[in-house]
Structure 1
């Protein structure tokens, strides 16, 4: 994939406009990194989880959402800051810190990304089925071809940035329409944000793992490296981007929660096998089902792109030739799409297995990055890491250990 660095974009550009082109390319890449992280988090599982928890907890789910956003911001600020300032990917930092640690992290991320991408392709097929009536296998295969086309395009980096931004905005707007359609009890939701009638700690940890677990943790930060906006001089960009990416994910979850809450508050019982789809259909009939198909397809396609891009970033380095990276990325998508087309469904057992890996990947990767922040100033080019960020990172790390323990228990139950 083309890195779309300022040097690449300004070739044969007159000196008088060269700086403006560089700045525009940089802003586009940073925006793409923000949306790549956000849209990678908003996948089929994100939609299903949000609908299930809203159906089960009602307005009280608002408190869990708020807590998860705060924790997610703490995690992502540290991940983006360490990766962005060092200019090294997470697995490269891991190997610099402790030989072999980076390879272990890469293996977990790629395994989880590979299995989850089967689910993402399946979600894209189901989305096109709800939107256009296409058979899911055909819809999944077509969506995979769209993703492959993006990575094979002449300026793949720019194409990736633009498509994830466009689809991210599309998802938010479509869900916002459903919020107005379902007329949720906003006042009750606001009250429950700080004073919920019920509280479930497991729900909080589940949605945290689903938002910043697995490959999702590194999607935006690794794209930022490819954009060229790294180093101490870009700390402000790095910090701002990390917060905005999580806030975008939070906005989508809040809107989806409100849209479904309006349906649940009206007395509708969501379908167990398709809670989100049944909520959209209850809110707006056949048009609502089509809207759900659009949201699901956009969420799944961006997750296919994010999973492929981020997983391959753990299999390569910045010295890997562009053609090799592209070939591996295309192969990754073809493999996952092919498995879905053959078996016609996402393998539930494998998805559960990969899901537990999210809880293992987060503490392992976060331990590496925090260790760099605390003890390896040399890897940060002499940058003095802020103590306040270290402290909130440490608190978030303790929670990731809890997630890891939950994941181990989940593996024992499989």
Structure 2
């Protein structure tokens, strides 16, 4: 029995890590990486390095406080300042909706790449598939299993393409530490796409739902957070190397679908079909993560939401699908969503840091000072970079 409990606990911890990682590794992740690698070349390695360091600090702070307190993000915020949790929940749910519209679009583009199906019809199919997960009585277990399988498949396929492009690895390493420029908009977009908005809370909320919380579980919680960031970072680096191998040869990406053209140029029609599978997997897993976490922010405000969480998640997915079908523009939506989530990060992380010293939230727990100080630096830096990046947002839809 003990072994079964350990196995179940390990499975949940790994599931939470993959939920966080696959929430980050969405269509926006793929589109942002391909677009910025095309624009910045090897210097994009520096953007990845900065965003990964900041993301890791944010994740460890947030997961620890959620785990120790046993509270969801919005409840933590309400304990810091009454009413703040409602505001944070609104922002996170709104950002999650923006991201999910892009996720639906990305998954639809994946089906379009594989089968040539119209993206609006494909979007409807993807919405139905995602809704099917939450019609299951074992939705949590199904979600954990699916994110693990899809996450592993994406890493294998992107890894194959990365090694087939013969990328300039030496230049990539050099520019990662000595960049040609400091691309602020790219850093904020990547930061938002990795830990912005709902993504920061996805794994932590999943652990709470599975009953994993308390100061005595901190080592497991830390390990789960680090695993999630490791998976997301590995995928980002492999994709960066794959696209860099293409653009370093002077080849131009198609602006209508940058990552798809990169895979096609790298490995021909097989690479193109591989990308379709990766994009679909990224889209479906991110639809699930965005819907689950966004609705989890609303459960504290009404028993109707808490008692019917899966139904609300299904409604969230349905609304996202309908909006995409009527609006479209997936590539710009995916980049926009990452940028908006980057702007939300200073508020959500700042709130968690304030809560780390609040006994109503954490009791007698002593949050590590080094983690607090690094968290404050990330809040200040992300706020500064976020404000500076607003011009980039305006230019995106100019």
Q: How does 1:21-40 map to 2 (within 5 A)?
A: 21-40=4-23
| Shift in Å, 1:404 | 4.1
| 1:376 correspondence with 2:332 | no
| 1:324 equivalent among 296, 303, 308 | 308
Can you give the 5+ residue segments of structure 2 that lack an aligned partner in the other structure?
Answer: none
User: Which residue of the partner structure matches residue 290 of structure 1?
Assistant: 273
| 1:401 correspondence with 2:368 | no
User: Deviations 1:368-389 (Å, cap 9, x if unpaired)?
Assistant: 100011x303411311111111
Aligned residue for 2:364, secondary structure, equals coil
Moved more, 183-192 or 324-333: 183-192
Moved more, 85-94 or 113-122: 113-122
Task: Specify whether residues 227 and 318 from structure 1 end up closer, same or farther in structure 2 by C-alpha distance, changes over 3 A only.
Answer: farther
| Shift in Å, 1:364 | 1.2
| 1:117 correspondence with 2:88 | no
Task: Specify whether residues 34 and 133 from structure 1 end up closer, same or farther in structure 2 by C-alpha distance, changes over 3 A only.
Answer: same
| 1:188 equivalent among 152, 171, 176 | 171
| 1:386 correspondence with 2:386 | no
User: Deviations 1:198-240 (Å, cap 9, x if unpaired)?
Assistant: 4323322221122111111211111111121111001101111
Give the Cα separation in 1 of the matches to 2:391 and 2:364: 40
| 1:213 correspondence with 2:196 | yes
Asked if structure 2 preserves the Cα contact closer than 8 Å seen for 1:40 and 1:302, the reply is yes
- Runs of 4+ deviating beyond 3 Å: 317-323, 346-357, 406-414
User: Which residue of the partner structure matches residue 317 of structure 2?
Assistant: 333
User: Which residue of the partner structure matches residue 68 of structure 1?
Assistant: 51
Asked if structure 2 preserves the Cα contact closer than 8 Å seen for 1:183 and 1:262, the reply is yes
Can you give the 5+ residue segments of structure 1 that lack an aligned partner in the other structure?
Answer: 1-16
Asked if structure 1 preserves the Cα contact closer than 8 Å seen for 2:28 and 2:335, the reply is no
User: Which residue of the partner structure matches residue 160 of structure 2?
Assistant: 177
| Shift in Å, 1:361 | 1.7
Task: Specify whether residues 238 and 300 from structure 1 end up closer, same or farther in structure 2 by C-alpha distance, changes over 3 A only.
Answer: same
Task: Specify whether residues 129 and 230 from structure 1 end up closer, same or farther in structure 2 by C-alpha distance, changes over 3 A only.
Answer: same
Give the Cα separation in 1 of the matches to 2:374 and 2:127: 39
Q: Structure 2 length normalisation: TM-score?
A: 0.93
Aligned residue for 2:197, secondary structure, equals coil
Give the Cα separation in 2 of the matches to 1:349 and 1:259: 22
Give the Cα separation in 2 of the matches to 1:318 and 1:167: 33
| 1:239 correspondence with 2:196 | no
User: Deviations 1:233-283 (Å, cap 9, x if unpaired)?
Assistant: 011011111122112111111000001111112221112222111111111
| 1:154 correspondence with 2:137 | yes
Q: Structure 1 length normalisation: TM-score?
A: 0.90
| 2:3 equivalent among 15, 20, 32 | 20
Asked if structure 2 preserves the Cα contact closer than 8 Å seen for 1:36 and 1:219, the reply is yes
| Shift in Å, 1:197 | 3.6
| 2:64 equivalent among 81, 84, 97 | 81
Give the Cα separation in 2 of the matches to 1:309 and 1:103: 17
Aligned residue for 1:268, secondary structure, equals coil
Give the Cα separation in 1 of the matches to 2:115 and 2:287: 20
Give the Cα separation in 1 of the matches to 2:71 and 2:56: 21
